[in-house]
Amino acid sequence: MFNKLQYISQGETNEKQLQNIHQALDAGCNWIQMRFKNQTSEKRFALAEAVKNLCEEYLATFIVNDDVLLTQKIAADGVHLGLTDMSISGARAILGEKKIIGATANTFEDILLQTKNGCDYIGLGPFQFTETKEKLSPILGTEGYASILNKMKTENISIPVYAIGGITLENIENLIKTGVHGIAVSGIITKSPEKEKLVQQLNDKLYANVIL
């Protein structure tokens, strides 16, 4: 069972990225997605190696945003791919069955396609406006999630769905009620002055009805 909280990294430099990821791990996040856009492959490789070591130390899951070959090169736990990134089947052919492959969706049809192609989880968004990502797909809101997750139930499609995009602590109860498995967040953790307290509060809400 995948963790219900995924932290997506932020930072303009390798140092800032690593600091943010280190702080998220210290705060109790145990799933990290390295998202470091528009950088040279040397810089991305250097960061990925450092993050991999850190995640091993913290026994955290480490996935890479966008870059299947980097994922393979550093033997990360997996990759997250959007609708315009490498295809899920192409990534699976390179990474094999054991690696985690996450896929982005904005609609029920996207979920159908990505699931058929063999992804392991869906990142469904955006929930609401966020400054973290440019060129957002249409906002879904709680109603959008409820409608898509209901359709999945009707059509017997069973795959963990993560809500993403501008999510705050106050949104979690309603999101979980729609049937999402968990959330992927960036800004709220990166910006929080009290990260440990926030991660505890997020997990309390995410796992409120889970019998462990």
Ligand X SMILES: Cc1ncc(COP(=O)(O)OP(=O)(O)O)c(N)n1
CA separation for the pair 57, 147 (Å, rounded): 40
CB of 82 to ligand X, least distance (A): 2
Residues that bind Mg ion (CB under 5 A): 66, 82, 85
Give dist(CA 128, CA 142) in Å, integer: 9
Residues annotated as binding site for Mg(2+)?
Answer: 66, 85
Q: Which residues bind ligand X (CB under 6 A)?
A: 6, 8, 33, 35, 65-66, 80, 82, 85, 102, 104, 123, 125, 133, 162, 164, 184
Closest distance to Mg ion from the beta carbon of 66 (Å): 4
Pick between residue 164 and residue 188 the one whose CB is nearest to ligand X.
Answer: 164
CA distance 21 to 19: 5
Q: How far apart are CA 166 and CA 161, in angstroms?
A: 16
Q: Which stretch binds ligand 3NM (CB under 6 A): 22-30, 45-53, 122-130, 170-178?
A: 122-130
30 binds, among ligand 3NM, ligand X, Mg ion, none (CB under 5 to 8 A by kind): none
Contacts with ligand 3NM in 149-188 (CB under 6 A)? 164-167, 185-187
| Distance in angstroms (rounded) separating the CA atoms of residues 71 and 66 | 9
Cα 161 from chain centroid? 10
Which residue in 121, 75, 122 sits closest to 96, CA to CA? 75
